[in-house]
Amino acid sequence: SKNSEEIALFFVYQTSHLLLSASSSRVHTAMDSLIAQLQRQFRDYTISLYHQGFLDDQFTELKKLQDECSPDFVAEVVSLFFEDCEKLISNMARALDQTVNVDYKLVGSSVHQLKGSSSSVGAKRVKGLCVTFKECCDSQNYEGCVRCLQQVDIEYKSLKAKLQDLFNLEQQIVQAGGRIPQ
Amino acid sequence: MVCEMETDQIEEMDVEVLPSMWPDDVGTEADKQFNVEKSAGDLDMLKEVDIAEKSAMADLKRLPELMNTTDQGTSQLTNLVKQWEYMQDHAVRLLREELQILTKQREEAEAKELKIIEEHNFESQEPENVPVLDETSDLFRRFRQKKRDKLVDSKKIEIDEEFDTIAYWKQKALSLGKMLEASTERERRLMEKLNESLKTMESHSAPVEELTQNLKRAEGFLHFILQNAPIVMGHQDKDLRYLFIYNKFPSLREQDILGKTDVEIFHGGGVKESQDFKREVLEKGKASKREITFETELFGSKTFLIYVEPVYNKAKETIGINYMGMEVTDQVRKREKMAKLREDNAVRKAMESELTKTIHITEETMRAKQMLATMSHEIRSPLSGVVGMAEILSTTKLDKEQRQLLNVMISSGDLVLQLINDILDLSKVESGVMKLEATKFRPREVVKHVLQTAAASLKKDLTLEGDITDAVPIEVVGDVLRIRQILTNLISNAIKFTHEGKVGIKLKVISEPSFACDNALNGDEEVQNGLTETSVWIRCDVYDSGIGIPGKLAVYLNALPCLFKKYMQASADHARKYGGTGLGLAICKQLVELMGGQLTVTSQVNVGSTFTFILPYKVATSDDHSDDQDEFSDMVDHQPEPDDTTEGYFQFKPLLGSIYSNGGPVIGNNFLPHKVMVTSPIKLINGFVAHPSDDIEQSETVQVENGGYTDESRLKNSSGHCLGSAHQYENGNGRCLSKESESCSSSQASSEGGTVEMESEFTVSSHREEEKAERDLKETSKPKILLVEDNKINIMVAKSMMKQLGYTIDIANNGVEAITAVERSSYDLVLMDVCMPVMDGLKATRLIRSYEESGNWDAAIEAGIDIKTMEDEQVCMRPTNRLPIIAMTANTLAESSEECFANGMDSFISKPVTLQKLKECLQQYLH
């Protein structure tokens, strides 16, 4: 059975390899070098974002939804997300600013919102923090909440910057007449 | 004849008490010999040892003869004689020397006498009657005494008288005379002694006495050495009859041994061997040693190291053997023990290394499995993206070539996805992660739908039949999805390997099988929905009239276990011809076993195979059937058919020709899931269509079928339905089936001489039909979907996905809004977030279900929701239809899904929602 699993693995690998090589060959024949370079940069950058845990598959899902009818879909959703973040974070900061009688329920529901949103856009790190944050809220751990809030703040801002870079790259590719690699 | 051997002996390193060679309690006291007090090896013992001739047994008549005739015998005697002669020589030499000295003295004395006589000639006439005799006699006596001690006397003569007087000379003469006399006397006595000595010497010419002494001494020495030694010695003649034996077994008597051979004396293991060994030595004439283990009745198991040498007579002819055996039982035992220990050690070491290797391999395997699972998972998401995108792409405007390429891409992608899903399923089952759901379902319907689905995509002239005995309960509880998966797998497998005849499913209730007695207890604890439950075992046979499993009976029995092995197909040829990943059966087997059942197969080449699985189910005794629209019947039967619940026999015929037609005119309407489609599956029951349908096209189709496939164009109609229904079920039941049948069909096509082009041609045409159908559908009736979600971003994403899938949706931001929306207009599907402000999804679902059951919104109004619509309107709208509500939950654990089900939800999608999940869900619930 071990062998056969290896065979299966090999098969999977082969297939994916074939798919990959097919797509990459097309890229090389169709695009000029500048676009290719930009695209490579874009891909590498995207991959690095995945690798560093900023993004997960859900972001890929978002990108799937972007088509001719809604060419800026990802950017729209993402900017909505960041607005949401800003609002929720300031809400939570206000709630946590109270030294007495912190409304953990309010904070909790905001965290839940944030978790849902981040999960939807594939903001993996923010989502992960939200899980911890929620736990802190549930246990009414004030220090934990504050710490989480700070981290969330940092995390969403850095993600925002990264995505901004990504969108800039995207724009450059489009301006150069290339296609955004999926 | 017991030898006492309880002496401490130092053996190798440790000191141990050596048991006697022969047991102590054999023989009589009188026979005991060598009863020597322990005298610590003092050499004086030699004299004390009383050589008991009894210790050894010898044929006294022949042994001396032997001693005389053999070299060994004579050499000893010669030695003794030589020694004796040497001693005699020595004595003679000593006597001679003494004699010489005496002779010399006498000569000296004579010479002196002469001189004195010459000197004192004149005095010779002196009167001899000198009265000094008394004194001189005394002196003489003294002298004689002296002479005894000293051989040579002082030559001085002591004279008391005054020198040179007459008396002096007289006295001197007298004493000299006496000296002479004494000397003569001594000489005479020495002569006598010499004569005597010579005489004794003569009498000693036969030195038996001394020799015997020597012999005795030698023998004594041997006894001294050997008395405690575990040694048996003997001499046997050339017929190997004993002539002499030393230290024989105590209970044997002389007549038992002498003149007999080993074989005659002893019985048991080793005797023959020793006899043969002796004979061998006898023949080869070379002394040699051998270790022989005896296993005799007489003394049990003993090992002897035997030394045998041939004995020659003076003419150098072999006349027998000497043999000496030393008992080495303990040593051998020890040696064997050591060897065994060493062997054990080696074995243990080998085992250890083997174990380490196994552990290593197991770890490797685990790691590989883990990696495989992880990789599969990692591959699946992007791949599903690829396939999904390709599918979406296929809905856009494409030219023929593009479409062909795309279709190949989709089908390949699907194949890989299927493979990955299989792998994940397997690793889930193996790692114990897979949890079984318990849902109520109707086995008849399951069987029917599996067959229907299979029939729909059937491209061979096969009859599919289902036969369910009346004893099978109408509803049972089990993991219907898994059971469907198994059935679908087995059926598609059966179809794959069957070219004509029939394929079918047979269900019957059996008594609890023996293998399940232990397992049965575990399952009974769960109680579902408060229903009382009893267990029932159902045996399911999936039979076919296919090629069977290759090989003759014996071979096939061997091949059968392989058949269930993962990835293993009956043979390489078949794998090539029939395609498939080979995982199907392995998954089936694992699933069946996971559910506490058993999957077996019987097969006969060119006659067919039967795959049988027996599974335990719980019987749900529900008192209200009509009310109970379970998950499964929901999927297919919105209008309940009375005969379906108890119907026990189905038959499906393929509709050949349909697949090659290029899109008939009436395919469209019925293609994609929507409500009208529910009644479309074609069902032939004994030539009679028992399908209540108000669709005119449908009944036309039926007539055509009854008429025997005469009308080409109408056939296309029916094929359209067929395809449509196929799709419906494919979609409804996940990808598994459709992929199976697809791969089946394509490999079928190629195996029957079709080229790749032909294959893709087919795919293209069928997809074109799909496309057309989809477009038609969109124009006519769009399903109404309500999304209940509070998160803006989630809404945005879900909306976009729905758009991509071709649906528009209404939005409600919380449970209250959802209820209001449901109450105002009718939806085909609700996607419900679980965790929401104002009212969560669970409560909202409960309220909606309560409305469906009671026909009024009282519960909702009680909960504080403002319901404005008039009641009679609602009642007549859809009082009995159950609205599919799909939960959307961030928590994918099984507990959460149970909570969803408990609150009346039909299924759930785990968040984040993906295109794929959404698509599958919509396909399943939008009919």
Query: Cβ-count burial of B436 within 10 angstroms (0-12 exposed, 13-18 middle, 19+ buried)?
Result: middle
Q: What is the pLDDT of residue B521?
A: 44
Q: What is d(CA A62, CA B467) in angstroms, rounded to the nearest whole number? A: 48
Where does the pLDDT of residue B38 fall: very low under 50, low under 70, confident under 90, or very high at 90 and above?
A: very low
CB contact under 8 A, B791 and A1: no
Smallest CA–CA separation between B795 and chain A, in Å?
Answer: 9
Given its phi and psi angles, is residue B591 left (phi above 0), alpha (psi -120 to 50 degrees) or beta? alpha
Kindly identify which residue of chain B lies nearest to residue A106, measuring between CA atoms. Answer: B837
CB contact under 8 A, A9 and B365: no
Q: What is d(CA B512, CA B514) in angstroms, rounded to the nearest whole number? A: 7
Output DSSP code: residue B2: P
Question: Which positions 130-159 of A are in contact with B (Cβ < 8 Å)?
Answer: none
Q: Which residues of chain A have pLDDT under 70?
A: 1-33, 182
- The answer to whether A61 contacts chain B (CB < 8 Å) is yes
- Partners of B788 in beta bridges: B812, B832
Query: Which long-range contacts does B198-205 make (Cβ < 8 Å, 24+ apart)?
Result: B201/B88, B201/B92, B204/B88
CB contact under 8 A, A120 and B800: no
For residue B535, give both structure tokens: 């267990």
CB contact under 8 A, B389 and A11: no
Q: Report which of B784, B773, B872, B870 is spatially closest to residue B822, judged by C-alpha positions.
A: B784
- Please list, in sequence order, all residues whose beta carbon lies within 8 angstroms of the beta carbon of residue B718, skipping any fewer than 6 positions away: B655, B658, B682, B701, B704, B705
Q: What is the pLDDT of residue B148?
A: 52
Q: What is d(CA B556, CA A15) in angstroms, rounded to the nearest whole number? A: 33
pLDDT in tens, B733-787: 333 333 333 333 333 333 333 333 333 333 334 444 444 444 444 444 678 889 9
Q: Report which of B211, B205, B234, B262 is spatially closest to residue B78, judged by C-alpha positions.
A: B211
For residue B257, give both structure tokens: 């041994």
Smallest CA–CA separation between A33 and chain B, in Å?
Answer: 25
Residue B40: is its pLDDT beyond 70? no
Q: Does residue B912 have a cis peptide bond before it, meaning omega lies within 30 degrees of 0?
A: yes
Q: Which residues of A touch B583 (CB under 8 A)?
A: 8
pLDDT in tens, B221-245: 877 887 777 888 888 888 888 888 8
Q: What is the pLDDT of residue B338?
A: 92
Q: Give how far Cα B734 sits from Cα of B629, B909, B925, Å.
A: 21, 14, 11
SS3 content of chain A, % helix, strand, coil (to 5): 80, 0, 15
Q: What is d(CA B26, CA B32) in angstroms, rounded to the nearest whole number? A: 10
pLDDT in tens, B117-166: 887 665 544 444 444 444 445 555 555 554 455 544 445 555 566 666 78
Q: Which residues of B touch A81 (CB under 8 A)?
A: 793
Rg (CA), chain A: 21
Coil/strand/helix, residue A146: helix
CB contact under 8 A, A65 and B368: no
CB contact under 8 A, B416 and A73: no
Residue B381: is its pLDDT beyond 50? yes
- The answer to whether A1 contacts chain B (CB < 8 Å) is yes
Q: Which residues of A touch B416 (CB under 8 A)?
A: 12, 15-16
CB contact under 8 A, B385 and A11: no
CB contact under 8 A, B915 and A65: yes
Phi then psi dihedrals of residue B390, to 5 deg: -60, -40
Q: Report which of B588, B618, B625, B587 is spatially closest to residue B437, judged by C-alpha positions.
A: B618
Higher pLDDT, A159 or B702: A159
Higher pLDDT, B817 or B371: B817
B424 in Cβ contact with B373 (< 8 Å): yes
Residue B170: is its pLDDT beyond 80? yes
Handedness of CA B577, B583, B589, B591 (dihedral sign): negative
For residue A174, give both structure tokens: 């489009």
Choose among B389, B797, B890: nearest Cβ to A77: B797
Higher pLDDT, B583 or B782: B782
Angle at B845 between CA B841 and CA B847, to 5 degrees: 120
| DSSP states along B335-384 | HHHHHHHHHHHHHHHHHHHHHHHHHHHHHHHHHHHHHHHHHHHHHHHHHH
Mean pLDDT of B265-280: 85
Residue B51: is its pLDDT beyond 80? no
Q: Which residues of B touch A91 (CB under 8 A)?
A: none
Q: What is d(CA A48, CA A54) in angstroms, rounded to the nearest whole number? A: 9
CB contact under 8 A, B568 and A4: yes
Chain A interface mutation, best of B361, B800, B888, B891, highest count of A Cβ atoms under 10 Å: B800
CB contact under 8 A, B383 and A16: yes
Higher pLDDT, B917 or B715: B917
Query: Cβ-count burial of B480 within 10 angstroms (0-12 exposed, 13-18 middle, 19+ buried)?
Result: buried
Q: What is the pLDDT of residue B25?
A: 56
Q: Which residues of B touch A109 (CB under 8 A)?
A: 837
Choose among B365, B419, B793: nearest Cβ to A8: B419
Where does the pLDDT of residue B793 fall: very low under 50, low under 70, confident under 90, or very high at 90 and above?
A: confident
Q: Which residues of A touch B567 (CB under 8 A)?
A: 1, 4-5, 7-8
pLDDT averaged over chain B? 69
Q: What is the pLDDT of residue B858?
A: 76
Helix (H) or strand (E) holding B685: none
Kindly identify which residue of chain A lies nearest to residue B838, measuring between CA atoms. Answer: A109
pLDDT in tens, B57-116: 666 666 667 666 776 667 777 777 788 888 888 888 888 998 999 999 889 888 988 888
Choose among A9, A60, A67: nearest Cβ to B375: A9
Size of interface A-B (CB pairs under 8 A): 112
pLDDT in tens, B820-870: 888 888 888 899 888 787 888 888 888 888 888 877 777 777 777 766 554
Dihedral (Cα; A146, A151, A156, A160), 10-degree rounding: 130
Q: Which residues of A touch B791 (CB under 8 A)?
A: 113, 116-117, 120
- How many residues can be counted in chain A? 182
B595 in Cβ contact with B570 (< 8 Å): no
CB contact under 8 A, A120 and B791: yes
Q: Determine what percent of chain B is predicted with pLDDT higher than 70.
A: 60
- Please list, in sequence order, all residues whose beta carbon lies within 8 angstroms of the beta carbon of residue B216, skipping any fewer than 6 positions away: B51
Q: What is the pLDDT of residue B339?
A: 92
Smallest CA–CA separation between B431 and chain A, in Å?
Answer: 15
Rg (CA), chain B: 62
Residue written as token pair 């981290």: A151
Q: What is d(CA B920, CA B272) in angstroms, rounded to the nearest whole number? A: 86
Q: What is the pLDDT of residue B540?
A: 92
Q: Report which of B658, B777, B685 is spatially closest to residue B728, judged by C-alpha positions.
A: B777
Residue B634: is its pLDDT beyond 50? no
- The answer to whether A72 contacts chain B (CB < 8 Å) is no
Kindly identify which residue of chain B lies nearest to residue A113, measuring between CA atoms. Answer: B791
Smallest CA–CA separation between A9 and chain B, in Å?
Answer: 7
Smallest CA–CA separation between A119 and chain B, in Å?
Answer: 6
Higher pLDDT, B194 or B41: B194
Q: Which residues of B touch A112 (CB under 8 A)?
A: 835
Choose among B386, B583, B914: nearest Cβ to A61: B914
pTM of the full structure: 0.33
Q: What is the pLDDT of residue B531?
A: 43
Q: Which residues of B touch A1 (CB under 8 A)?
A: 565-567
Q: Which domains does chain A have, with CATH numbers?
A: 1-182 (1.20.120.160)
Output DSSP code: residue B18: P
Q: What is d(CA B883, CA B881) in angstroms, rounded to the nearest whole number? A: 6
Q: Give how far Cα B443 sits from Cα of A146, B632, B633, B647, B870, Å.
A: 56, 10, 11, 11, 41
Q: Give how far Cα B602 sits from Cα of A11, B474, B550, B655, B797, Å.
A: 31, 28, 12, 30, 52
B418 in Cβ contact with B492 (< 8 Å): no
Residue B705: is its pLDDT beyond 50? no
